[in-house]
Amino acid sequence: MKVVIPGGTGQVGGILDRALTAAGHEVVLLTRSPRGERQVRWDGSTLGEWARQVDGSDVVINLAGRSVSCRYTDENLAAMMSSRVNSARIVGEAIAGAARPPAVWLQMSTATIYAHSFDGDNDEYHGVIGGGEPGVPSYWAYSVAIARNWETALERAATPATRKVALRSAMVMSPDRGGVFDVLSWLARLGLGGPVAGGGQYVSWIHDHDFVRAIAYLIERDDIAGAVNLAAPEPLPQREFMRELRSAWRVPVALPATKGMAELGAFALASDTELLLKSRRVVPRRLLDAGLAFRYPRWRAAAADLTHRRRRD
């Protein structure tokens, strides 16, 4: 297959590029700063020569968007929104204008679209879309608005010959340097990964091998369209999540962290506290119903595999 990945130069793109190339597919990455022959220039917001890559391709997986690992200033929030909505819109226009449109367009979205939830699992059928939760910082609603507008851009695209899937993905855990697992491991190994603000908030995550398998499954299964959750079936409270991670790294104790410490930690990580404090209890109901068997449904085994691979590299 020919697979085109707009925004494919980042963490998730790296995982997919390696896996799809190793499986024998032709992979082309669309980027604002091309390096090497498989990378093609685009600007993420206007049509150009790059659209010829989409015409005649089999699959488009759009990952483009300004990184969410940043301080949530007004300027950064606006860039997070526009980079996602504009890229989804323009990918839609390229597909709509193609003489031979791809069979499927997988559009990244996020598990953050769901409400801050401790009690019930958020699946695609009964999950509560966020934005209206009482007592949470107002900018959390903005993250939900970004996700909704992202998905609206996908829905609105007039691409009748192309199946469309919104990937509501949880944090993708891979041993790569600079990825989210690397950062959390760094905290755990410093003994800083204790419970944040009580640690009862749920962490949704997905092992990189299961992420790749889910993508392959969604490419193959031509009966699946619309929003699909990509998350391990067993999200767990942050305090347990970090305990398992420490244990995988053989770090015996950790300092509990207050909300203030979360703010400090987030500052050190150039990130925002939403990533540490929002409870994301998201489950992959549609993938399970469709018959995808997760290799790493539980965090303990996933963390053991990831630390093992990280030590080896």
Binding of residue 122 to ligand NAP (CB under 6 A): no
| Cα–Cα distance measured from residue 205 to residue 237, given in angstroms and rounded to the nearest whole number | 11
At closest approach, how far in Å is the CB of 134 from ligand NAP? Answer: 25
Q: Is 238 in the site for ligand NAP (CB under 6 A)?
A: no
- Is 175 in contact with 182 (CB distance < 8 Å)? yes
The size of the interface with ligand NAP (CB under 6 A), counted in residues, is: 24
Q: Kindly tell me which of 139 and 261 has the beta carbon lying closer to ligand NAP.
A: 139
Q: Which stretch binds ligand NAP (CB under 6 A): 58-66, 119-127, 218-226, 294-302?
A: 58-66
Buried b / exposed e across 182-196, counting CB within 10 Å, b at 16+? bbbbebbbeebbbbb
Stretch that binds ligand NAP, among 10-18, 93-101, 120-128, 291-299 (CB under 6 A): 10-18
Q: Does 171 bind ligand NAP (CB under 6 A)?
A: yes
Contact 227, 109 (CB under 8 A): yes
- Contact flag: residue 303 with ligand NAP (CB under 6 A): no
Please report the DSSP string for 74-118 in residue order.
HHHHHHHHHHHHHHHHHHHHHHHT-SS--SEEEEE--GGGB---S
Does 11 sit near ligand NAP (CB under 6 A)?
Answer: yes
Determine, following the binding rule CB under 6 A, whether residue 185 of this chain makes contact with ligand NAP: no
CB closer to ligand NAP out of 13 and 235: 13
What sign does the dihedral 81-86-91-95 (CA atoms) show? positive
Is residue 110 a contact point for ligand NAP (CB under 6 A)?
A: yes
Task: Please report whether residue 10 would count as binding ligand NAP according to CB under 6 A.
Answer: yes
Where b means 16+ CB within 10 Å and e means fewer, 104-136 reads bbbbbbbbbbbbbbeeebbbbeebeebbebeeb
Minimum distance from residue 80 beta carbon to ligand NAP (Å)? 8
Note the residues at the interface with ligand NAP (CB under 6 A): 7, 9-13, 31-33, 44, 63-68, 83, 87, 108, 110, 169, 171-172, 180
